[in-house]
Amino acid sequence: MKILVVGGAGYIGSHFVLEASKKGNEITVFDDLSSGFKSNLNDNISFYKGSTLSKKELDLVMLSDNFDVVVHLAAFKAAGESMLNPGRYATNNIIGGLNLIESCVKNNIQNVIFSSSAAVYGTPQYTPIDETHPLLPINYYGYSKLIIEQNLKWYSKLKGIRYASLRYFNAAGYDSDFKKFQVESNPQNLIPLVMEVALESRDHLEVFGDDYATPDGTGIRDYIHVKDLAEGHLTSIDYIINYKKNLEINLGTGKGFSVLDIIKKTEIISNKKVNHVVSKRRDGDPDIVLSSSDKAKQLIGWSPTRSDLDNIIKSSWATYNYNMKANKL
């Protein structure tokens, strides 16, 4: 199968490219390298540098081969930043996403896999969250993802686009057999920040609140190993092509770990101290966020197999340690 991966040099994208390549697919990556790294890709991967904000560049790459499917992973992802600078997210995530959909229609590429987010749900009204949960995002990042989901529905009705919207929970971990992955330079998520503190490239971790209604007082989240996410993309591609149906599913584990769970596990695996200070709880942060992935299991036969906390932390530590020794941190 010929797959165009937009945003394929980033964290999730490069892991998907690696897994898809292993299964014999022909991969082309399109990325502006604003946060991704070309070094994350093997030498046999075709690469085009370009932006989803350029219709010309999108058309050029889509005309370069007869692609069976486009996997769209190119987006800004910091929820907090999106509330301070919504225009940046409107431009990159919404306009860029619409440009991509239009280019797919123009160049007769029918199948689209969209990297969405659990942020489309907003504050959980119940947990585990399933796909029938109301879509009420509470930050502009989640709103930008929902807008593209809604447009994929419209373009399916009007132009025959077939799509899968994959609602990730918290992507984590690395491929332990491929340690050359370059890690994010300005991480926003918990586990990368914990890794930096353990490596002493960051002074301490700020823990936002210890008064949650959880066993240790810190928030509990659902962490999904990035290789499990990659498998979810591949099985979703098979589903929309073979069954000729659209798909909207969660990709998570249904299990949760607290902030202190992450810190303690990292200290055990790294044999390093993770200095942290507790600060005020952030507005809008729920106590517990867990996913239900029953629909993914039923429709595409997907279940996470690598997302235990040991594997997530061990693979993260191995990759961050490699980057430190290679002077990339």
Residue 184 lies in a domain: no
Nearest by Cα to 135 from 125, 127, 205 = 125
Residue with the larger pLDDT of the pair 44 and 176: 44
| pLDDT at residue 325 tops 80 | no
Q: Report pLDDT for 282.
A: 81
Together in a domain, 150 and 168? yes
Residue 165 lies in a domain: yes
Q: Report pLDDT for 329.
A: 52
Residue 185 lies in a domain: no
Q: Report pLDDT for 298.
A: 98
Q: Report pLDDT for 327.
A: 65
| pLDDT at residue 104 tops 70 | yes
Residue 144 lies in a domain: yes
Q: Report pLDDT for 78.
A: 87
Q: How far apart are CA 88 and CA 153, in angstroms?
A: 24
Task: For residue 2, give the 3-state DSSP assignment.
Answer: strand
Q: Report pLDDT for 295.
A: 98
| pLDDT at residue 179 tops 60 | no
Of 206, 231, 251, which one is at a domain's C-terminal end? 251
Residue with the larger pLDDT of the pair 329 and 242: 242
Average pLDDT over all residues of the chain: 95
What is the CATH classification number for the domain harbouring 155? Answer: 3.40.50.720
Q: How far apart are CA 83 and CA 276, in angstroms?
A: 25
Together in a domain, 123 and 158? yes
Residue 177 lies in a domain: no
Together in a domain, 237 and 270? no
Together in a domain, 209 and 272? yes
Q: Report pLDDT for 45.
A: 95
| pLDDT at residue 91 tops 60 | yes
Together in a domain, 155 and 197? no
Number of domains, the chain: 2
Together in a domain, 269 and 153? no
| pLDDT at residue 275 tops 60 | yes
Q: How far apart are CA 146 and CA 94, in angstroms?
A: 9
Together in a domain, 64 and 199? no
Domain that holds residue 104: 2-172+223-251
Together in a domain, 162 and 279? no
pLDDT 10s digits, 23-48: 999 999 999 999 999 999 998 999 99
Together in a domain, 153 and 301? no
Together in a domain, 14 and 51? yes
Q: Phi/psi at 89 (nearest 5 deg)?
A: -75, -35
Together in a domain, 245 and 320? no
Average pLDDT over residues 118-145: 96
Range of weakest confidence among 179-188, 228-237, 248-257, 279-288: 179-188
pTM: 0.95
- Give Rg (Cα) of the chain: 19
Percent of the chain with pLDDT over 90: 89
Number of C-beta neighbours around residue 134 at 10 A: 10
Percent of the chain with pLDDT over 70: 98
Catalytically annotated residues: 141
What is the CATH classification number for the domain harbouring 302? Answer: 3.90.25.10
Residue 183 lies in a domain: no
Nearest by Cα to 253 from 206, 213, 291 = 291
Burial class (CB in 10 A: 0-12, 13-18, 19+), 81: middle
Q: Report pLDDT for 80.
A: 84
| pLDDT at residue 290 tops 90 | yes
Residue 181 lies in a domain: no
Together in a domain, 242 and 108? yes
Nearest by Cα to 252 from 194, 215, 296 = 296
pLDDT 10s digits, 151-169: 999 999 999 999 999 999 9
Residue 114 lies in a domain: yes
